[in-house]
Amino acid sequence: MSMNEPISVQEALIYVMVIVSASDNQMTDNELATIGDMIKMLPVFNGYDGNRIIPAAQRCGDILQEDNGLQLVLELVGDVLPAKLPLPQSSAVRLPVTGPSDPLGAGI
């Protein structure tokens, strides 16, 4: 994939995760593993080939090394990501409610 080709929504999200992870000028194996775990869990990545994670992260890193690299990555991401990602109905997750009516946080 050349840097002039559009990226997928999934790759754009990987770029965002890489930017956050590399904000301290390094990206550890643990951080890359966490990104992999998130990709396995998040519905937007259903069907995404896990073998594409490292190449996508490397492409992002290559772009970040260029002059104005961060700006370039943000523009790529901004051109692809919608304001709100649609979630499939099957991805709904019910979380326990806690609050004043549940002072002990028992989730009931």
Give the orientation angle of helix 29-41 with respect to helix 53-64, to 10 degrees.
Answer: 130
pLDDT at 83 (0 to 100): 84
The residue range of the domain holding 46 is 9-79
> Is the pLDDT at 87 greater than 70, yes or no?
no
Residue 90 included in any domain: no
Q: With respect to residue 91, please indicate whether it lies within any of the assigned structural domains.
A: no
> What's the average model confidence in pLDDT over 9-37?
88
Per-residue confidence (pLDDT) for residue 96, from 0 to 100:
57
- Which residues are CB-neighbours of 46 under 8 A, at least 6 positions away? 88
pLDDT band, residue 93 (cuts 50/70/90): low
**47 in any annotated domain:** yes
Residue type for 13, please?
A: L
pLDDT at 75: 94
Q: Is residue 44 part of a domain?
A: yes
Domain count, the chain: 1
Q: Which residue has the tokens 């593993």?
A: 33
Domain assignment present for residue 13? The answer is yes
Q: What pLDDT score does 4 carry?
A: 60
Nearest-angstrom CA–CA distance, 62 and 18: 11
Q: Determine if residue 53 is left, alpha or beta; phi over 0 gives left, psi from -120 to 50 gives alpha, anything else beta.
A: alpha
57 inside domain: yes
